[in-house]
Amino acid sequence: SSFAAGIAAERQAIGAAVTQPWSNGQTEGQITKLKLIKRQMYGRAKLDLLRARLCTA
């Protein structure tokens, strides 16, 4: 019932998401890539190496 209430509360946003021609897929892809790089380097490198990796990726 809480799921249905959430859907009802966000009815306009859901309708816009379905009917609008644009999407945020490109943004989501960039965020996913950034998270992957951060996970790979977690605990192994400092911020300067992470910055260098992001600038070349």
Q: What is the mean pLDDT of residues 19-29?
A: 83
Give tens-digit pLDDT for 34-47: 888 777 777 666 77
Instruction: Answer yes or no: is pLDDT of 7 > 80.
Output: yes
41 versus 5: the higher-pLDDT residue is 5
Q: Are 28 and 16 in contact (CB under 8 A)?
A: no
Q: What is the mean pLDDT of residues 1-24?
A: 86
Count how many Cα atoms sit within 13 Å of the Cα of residue 31 in the half-sphere of its side chain. Answer: 5
Report the alpha-carbon distance of residue 16 to residue 31 in Å, rounded.
Answer: 23
Cα 29 from Cα 39, distance rounded (Å): 15
DSSP 44: T
Per-residue confidence (pLDDT) for residue 57, from 0 to 100: 59
Percent of the chain whose predicted confidence (pLDDT) is above 90: 7
CA distance 41 to 49: 9
